[in-house]
Amino acid sequence: MNITINGKTCTCEKGEFLLEVARRNGIPIPTLCHHPALAGQGSCRVCLVEVDEGRGPKIVVSCVYPIQRECTVETDSERVRRERGMVLALLRKRAPESRRIAGMCRLYGAPELPRLTPADTGKCILCGLCTRACTELSVGAISTVNRGVLKEIATPYHEPSTVCVGCGACANVCPTEAIPLTETAETRTIWGKTFQLVRCASCGRILGTREELELAAKRCGQEPETLCERCRKAATAQILADVYGD
């Protein structure tokens, strides 16, 4: 099927998400809560675009909009810029300490909105990517707690989690750097808990926390890794060379 994005003809499959088709064709659309490994989020609305399927243009959220029929799409029309600017202005209200959102507000001309009382603080936009990453990729150690303006992401009772393995997936997927993760040469600290880091026995590169490696090993029914991927491949190549000769 062919669709037109900003005047460019793009080929796509029925049901493909608009954002993916645009990106594949080199047409940029800004995103915050989109992550390729955790698709279908659709919460920040920064990726909105204008779509006309023959019945007049409408605004849709491109990262979760499946293409069903031929259409024309505008990713940077005046209406899109105006609505995206307003979305960003509201996100800046929610997360005034996020430098990424502040930068996007400047880039997309977000309007200044009146101050809220009490003023919000922090960087979190409550997109939910971190809790999904923790549940789908790891152990489900964090969740959304409280309601309304008190809503936040936390471990149960704000205590160091008993199940967290310190993998850092939540901090890695967070689009606004709202989850503090600190590392020394030996340790990683996240959600109020400090983990011992394990390094590759050959090259010394960080492999992860001890708990993270033990969980991964348990899931595949193997012993925890002691070598990084590169050293493991090198060791395997050496064994093959020893067995079969060069």
Q: Which residues bind ligand SF4 (CB under 6 A)?
A: 124-130, 153, 173-174, 176, 178-179
* CB nearer ligand SF4, residue 66 or residue 122: 122
Residue 67 contact partner, candidates ligand FES, ligand SF4, none, CB within 5 to 8 A by sort of partner: none
At residue 179's C-alpha, the angle toward residues 174 and 207, to 5°, is: 80
Q: What is the DSSP letter of 166?
A: -
* CB nearer ligand SF4, residue 144 or residue 196: 144
Strands 193-199 and 206-209, by their bridges, are antiparallel
Q: Report, in Å, the least distance between residue 121 CB and ligand FES.
A: 22
Asked if 49 is part of the footprint of ligand FES (rule: CB under 6 A), the reply reads no
Asked if 61 is part of the footprint of ligand FES (rule: CB under 6 A), the reply reads yes
Q: What single string gives the DSSP state of each residue in 93-158?
A: HH-TT-HHHHHHHHHTTPPP-PPPSSPP-SS-----HHHHHHHHHS----EEES-GGG-EEESGGG
* CB nearer ligand SF4, residue 71 or residue 166: 166
Kindly write out the interface string for residues 10-39 of this chain, putting x where it contacts ligand FES by CB under 6 A and - elsewhere: ---------------------xxxx-----
Using alpha carbons, select from 227, 217, 216, 163 the residue that is nearest to residue 190: 163
> Is the Cα torsion angle 136, 169, 102, 95 positive or negative in sign?
positive
Q: What is the DSSP letter of 188?
A: E
Burial 38-68 (b: 16+ CB within 10 A, else e): beebbbbbbbbbbbebeeebeebbbbbbebe
Near ligand FES by CB under 6 A: residue from 3, 21, 46, 178: 46
Q: Report, in Å, the least distance between residue 130 CB and ligand SF4.
A: 3
Q: Report, in Å, the least distance between residue 33 CB and ligand SF4.
A: 7
Residue 75 contact partner, candidates ligand SF4, ligand FES, none, CB within 5 to 8 A by sort of partner: none
* CB nearer ligand SF4, residue 10 or residue 126: 126
Residue 170, phi then psi, degrees to nearest 5: -60, -45
Residue 45 contact partner, candidates ligand FES, ligand SF4, none, CB within 5 to 8 A by sort of partner: ligand FES
Q: Report the C-alpha gap between 134 and 140 in whole angstroms.
A: 5
The tokens 């303006």 sit on which residue? 149
Q: Report, in Å, the least distance between residue 29 CB and ligand SF4.
A: 19
Using DSSP's 3-state secondary structure scheme, residue 79 falls into helix
Near ligand FES by CB under 6 A: residue from 45, 94, 132, 193: 45
Residues that bind ligand FES in the complex, under the rule CB under 6 A: 31-34, 41-47, 61, 63
